[in-house]
């Protein structure tokens, strides 16, 4: 922040020395602030992407997992970070959702109805803010079956400005960061809504993003 303010004062000083009027000075000031915000966003994004590559989980745990705390003592400034661990009450529901979608060809709506009929067998998802159970909805089912976390890797940058990003743009952890709940072939079959043959099983970490 201090370095940026010094650059701003220097820029404004040059504008005044150069004879810029009040309107021009205001334009320079506004542009400098915008440049600062863009630079700050780029820096923040780079930090978050690196944490993902290191296998740390950012945000609430997906359905079927819970958060565990770890001290990132290998970083320049040790901090508490999160990784994912199995939620024993809900983990088994995730493979069932994928199987219904890939093999039984059920829709998200039909899966949500099936899950809702047996709450003891298929525990409801919890609200990340209140911790209270939520009703199964097609949107929640879709969120589960499109989340690459179930491959055992941390991933982010899956959307840009609210739109899905291509898989080549996703940021992945360099190594598996938590237990996988779904095989790569099943996940990508669900993601593409196109079942893959058994021989297409992709188990190597280097192939986590393959079709």
Tens digit of pLDDT for each residue in 95-148?
999 999 999 999 999 999 999 999 999 999 999 999 999 999 999 999 999 999
Query: Hey, what are 76's tokens?
Result: 């320049």
Q: Which structure tokens are listed for 179? A: 């237990």
Give 69 or 93, the one with higher predicted confidence: 93
174 in any annotated domain: yes
pLDDT of residue 25: 64
Q: Are residues 93 and 179 in the same domain?
A: yes
pLDDT at position 140, please? 96
Residues 6 and 96 in one domain: no
- pLDDT at position 1 is 53
Are both 116 and 201 inside the same structural domain?
yes
Residue 208 backbone class (left: φ over 0; alpha: ψ -120 to 50; beta: rest): alpha
pLDDT at 46 (0 to 100): 74
Q: CATH code at 197?
A: 3.90.1750
Quote the pTM value: 0.71
CA distances to 42, 50, 57, 99 from 82, rounded to whole Å, are 23, 14, 5, 29
Q: Are residues 188 and 107 in the same domain?
A: yes
CB 188 within 8 A of CB 210: yes
Q: Collapsing DSSP states into helix, strand and coil, what is residue 84?
A: strand
Task: Look up residue 123 and give its DSSP letter.
Answer: P
**Domains in the chain, number:** 2
Residues 31 and 108 in one domain: no
Mean pLDDT across 47-74: 85
Give residue 46's domain range: 2-53
Q: What is residue 5's predicted lDDT score, i.e. its pLDDT?
A: 61
């Amino acid at each position: 922040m201090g370095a940026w303010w010094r650059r701003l004062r220097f820029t404004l000083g040059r504008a005044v020395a150069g004879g810029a009027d009040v309107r021009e000075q205001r334009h320079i000031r506004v542009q400098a602030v915008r440049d600062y915000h863009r630079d700050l966003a780029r820096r923040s994004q780079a930090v978050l992407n690196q944490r993902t590559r290191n296998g740390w989980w950012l945000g609430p745990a997906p359905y079927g997992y819970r958060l565990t705390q770890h001290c990132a003592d290998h970083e320049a400034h040790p901090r508490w970070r999160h990784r994912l661990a199995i939620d024993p009450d809900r983990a088994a529901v995730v493979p069932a959702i994928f199987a219904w979608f890939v093999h039984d060809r059920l829709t998200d709506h039909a899966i949500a109805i099936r899950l809702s009929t047996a709450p003891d067998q298929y525990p409801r998802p919890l609200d990340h803010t209140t911790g209270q159970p939520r009703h199964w909805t097609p949107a929640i089912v879709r969120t589960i079956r499109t989340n690459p976390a179930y491959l055992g890797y941390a991933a982010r940058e899956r959307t840009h400005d609210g739109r899905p990003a291509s898989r080549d743009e996703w940021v992945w952890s360099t190594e598996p960061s938590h237990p996988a709940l779904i095989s790569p072939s099943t996940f990508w079959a669900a993601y593409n809504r196109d079942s893959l043959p058994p021989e297409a099983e992709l188990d190597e970490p280097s192939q986590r993003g393959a079709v």
